[in-house]
Amino acid sequence: MEGPMKAPPPQTHAGNDDNLIAGYDTNHNVDMERYQREVPLWKRVHQHSLTQMLFISVQAFCGPAIADAITGLGAGGLATPRTSNIRFAIETSIEAVFCLFGGVLVNMIGAKWGLVIGAISFPLFGASYYCNSAFNNQWFLLATAPITGIGFAFWNVAEGAYVMSIAPESKRGKYLALWIVSRNLGQLVGGSINLAKNASSDAGGGISASTYIPFIAIEALAIPFAFGICEMAHVVRSDGTRILTPPKLSHYDETKEIIRTYMTKVVYCCAIFIIWSYFYNGPWSTYLALYFSVRARALSSLISPFFCIIGCFALGYVTDLKGYSQRRRAQFGFWLVIILNTAVCIWSLIMQVKFIRHDPGPIDWSDKRYAAAFLPYFFIQTTGPLAQVYNYWILSSFAKSGQDNVRFSAALKCIQCVGSAIAFGVSAADSSPLVGMILNCALMLASIPGMWYITDHTPDRIPADVIAEEMEAEERRRREEGVEHEGLDKKDNTDVANVHAVTVLA
């Protein structure tokens, strides 16, 4: 690392704006000696990539995880799954529409404010189920679906961009594992509440209305952590680098970039895999609601996250393996996900066929059939999230900047919501989870050719990091030649980016 700079580098405003980071060595690296000397400790801690990932993880804990915990009660804890499935179909359809061009919206207002908008909508999710259970007003449950759909769209696009961008290259899998584990820790807390409130109910039906009150309180805690998020340009990674963030484009140009992103091979080859990785929620939630007692469903939301935590860190270890190229690690991770999910799908289909032939009624945890019936649900709650983590990891492997990750995140969430809407729509139309399970298996098989191609063409390193290093080297060369600190002009930046663009997937 070179010594402290005599002048701030271009487009960083070092020393002129207290809200920006002092001491960038170039557009990519941070002069850590100057940074530690000039920036207060509290701000360095706040801007650190791990701190920001923890802030995101807390929000994931309070928002999506609690929503998943409510879903984990089986149909949101309602006595019958139909209304909840209709609500999820509406919500995810609206979310898909807003995610379609969510990258434009998030890049316009900034990822931080996308997270704030989303966090404000979180408590409404739990409140809609509380009002349904306490006052039996299904209209409110359905009427709030578009609002929470829009809120989750903003939050998920911004969240995805953050988790795909802020990790150091060598720790990306572990950072993603930390994030997905936080979602499951939320389910763990939610499961504890569920079980405490419903431990005495060994029959079927809906859960106690008071169960939702702690959920609403936890969902509201996401709001202050959303305000604590830094913009991506201000984050300093643990390895002394920052996120490559080119100047913002006009709304028209950003829309063109979003459309271009949807047309890249990396997106449409991953599309079926993305749909499949979220499709399981519909049929398996219906499976839990139809065949298990209230307290057995509450127990499921408590114990389901445990193995997922182990599995996610195991996948993070595989995708961060030292001594292997990014392409080889992509192949290892993909086949690990497919093999595990294949085993769970076969087991689930066998159990569902048995239940169609002989309806078991509400299975309680004291029933001798409980273990065999519950384990397929338990394992799908592990293998499904593994596929979701892999989605973010593989797409971020192709990003050329932080803005690219916003666009990839918007595309991912849009496609994911389409899959979820179809899954819950199928579950609402068909009382048996069998059709949804068969579709889930078919989607998994159909996703293999496209993902096989993508993993075989994964770049050996993240393009954004390679581009940033080239920009740093060019800037250093200019300084050594005595050129004034004018930075790379637009043409220079474009030329460098084009050299390293993954053209085979463009």
Q: How far is CA 101 from CA 36, 95, 159, 166, 408, in A?
A: 39, 11, 15, 22, 11
**Cα–Cα dist 114/150, whole Å:** 11
Work out the angle at residue 438's Cα, subtended by the Cα atoms of residues 434 and 440, and round it to the nearest 5 degrees.
Answer: 115
For 141, what's the count of Cα atoms within 13 Å in the CB-facing half-sphere? 22
Question: Are the beta carbons of 150 and 121 closer than 8 angstroms?
Answer: yes
Tokens of 385: 């999230």
The closest of 302, 287, 77 to 201, measured between CA atoms, is 77
480 Cβ neighbours under 8 A, 6+ residues apart: none
CATH number, domain 43-242+257-456, options 1.20.1250.20, 3.30.450.20, 3.90.180.10, 3.40.50.11540: 1.20.1250.20
Residue where the block lists tokens 């839990």:
288
Residue 505, number of CB atoms within 10 A of its CB: 16
The closest of 426, 438, 439, 372 to 81, measured between CA atoms, is 426
The one-letter amino acid at 211: T
Residue 502's pLDDT is 41
The DSSP result for 417-479, as a single string, is HHHHHHHHHHHHH-SSTHHHHHHHHHHHHHHHHHHHHHHHT--SS-HHHHHHHHHHHHHHHHH
Residue 78's pLDDT is 52
Task: Give φ, ψ of 30 to 5 degrees.
Answer: -110, 135
Identify any residues that bridge with 286 across adjacent strands, giving them in sequence order.
Answer: none
The closest of 269, 253, 225 to 403, measured between CA atoms, is 253
The DSSP result for 103-141, as a single string, is HHHHHHH-HHHHHHHHHHHHHHHHHHHHHHHHH--HHHH
- Give the sign of the dihedral formed by CA 229, CA 116, CA 385, CA 196: positive
Residue 487 burial class via C-beta count within 10 angstroms: exposed 0-12, middle 13-18, buried 19 and up: middle
DSSP type of residue 48: B
**Cα–Cα dist 427/456, whole Å:** 35
Residue where the block lists tokens 């999506």:
64
Successive 10-residue mean pLDDT values, the chain, 506 residues: 34 35 49 80 88 90 83 52 74 82 77 90 89 79 89 86 79 80 72 68 58 87 91 81 74 81 88 89 80 77 76 85 88 93 91 85 82 85 86 86 78 81 71 83 93 90 77 76 54 43 41
The closest of 328, 126, 343 to 220, measured between CA atoms, is 126
Query: Would you kindly state where each structural domain of the chain is located, as residue ranges?
Result: 43-242+257-456
Residue 482's pLDDT is 67
The reported pTM is 0.69
